[in-house]
């Protein structure tokens, strides 16, 4: 009488499903990392107790030597409104202000006023504080 089993278990482990999973994770991380958009210009932002994250459409940066940049393009006060109008593409856009903390308040109010005149939502970028 033969008592051996006809079905034998293969002890080899297939790595095909593991490589598929790794490739899917790689694609996921590559896609999500492209959604992070840094401002591009180093300015010393003021701190705030609470910060919210805004989807950044147009970034306006004012450096400590009062140079104005719209999405990394240097503009003057006289050309700021036209540049913002072309970048926003219409009303109800979002403008994120990256203002150095040493810049006088009147400069921030001027830039925010130009964006508000174009019916854009204005948000001020800050560093998270304690």
Summarize pLDDT for 86-125 with one digit per residue, the tens. 888 766 788 888 888 888 889 889 998 998 888 888 888 8
Closest CA to 71 of 90, 94, 92: 94
- Site of tokens 């300015």: 43
Calculate mean pLDDT across residues 14-19.
Answer: 79
Residue 78: is its pLDDT beyond 60? yes
Rg of the chain, C-alpha, whole Å? 26
Architecture of domain 47-128 in CATH?
Answer: 2-Layer Sandwich (3.30)
Q: How confident is the model at residue 40, as a pLDDT?
A: 57
Give me the residue spans of the domains in the chain.
47-128
For the residues 76-95, what does the mean pLDDT come to?
A: 83
Write out pLDDT tens, residues 32-70: 776 655 555 666 666 666 655 555 578 888 988 989 998
pLDDT tier for residue 17 given thresholds of 50, 70 and 90: confident
DSSP H helices in 12-52 = 16-33
What kind and span of H or E run contains 69? strand 68-70
Predicted pLDDT of residue 110:
92
Name the pTM for this structure.
0.59
Say yes or no to pLDDT of 13 above 80: no
């Amino acid at each position: 009488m033969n008592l051996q089993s006809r079905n034998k278990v293969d002890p080899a482990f297939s790595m095909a499903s593991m490589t598929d999973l790794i490739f899917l994770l790689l694609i996921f991380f590559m896609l999500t990392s492209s959604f992070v958009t840094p401002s591009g210009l180093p300015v010393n932002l003021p701190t705030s107790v609470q910060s919210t994250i805004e989807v950044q459409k147009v970034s306006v940066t004012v450096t400590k030597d009062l140079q104005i940049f719209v999405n990394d393009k240097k503009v003057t006060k006289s050309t700021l409104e036209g540049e913002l109008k072309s970048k926003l593409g219409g009303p109800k856009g979002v403008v994120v202000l990256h203002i150095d903390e040493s810049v006088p308040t009147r400069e921030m109010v001027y830039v925010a006023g130009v964006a508000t005149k174009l019916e854009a939502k204005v948000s001020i970028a800050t560093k998270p504080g304690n």
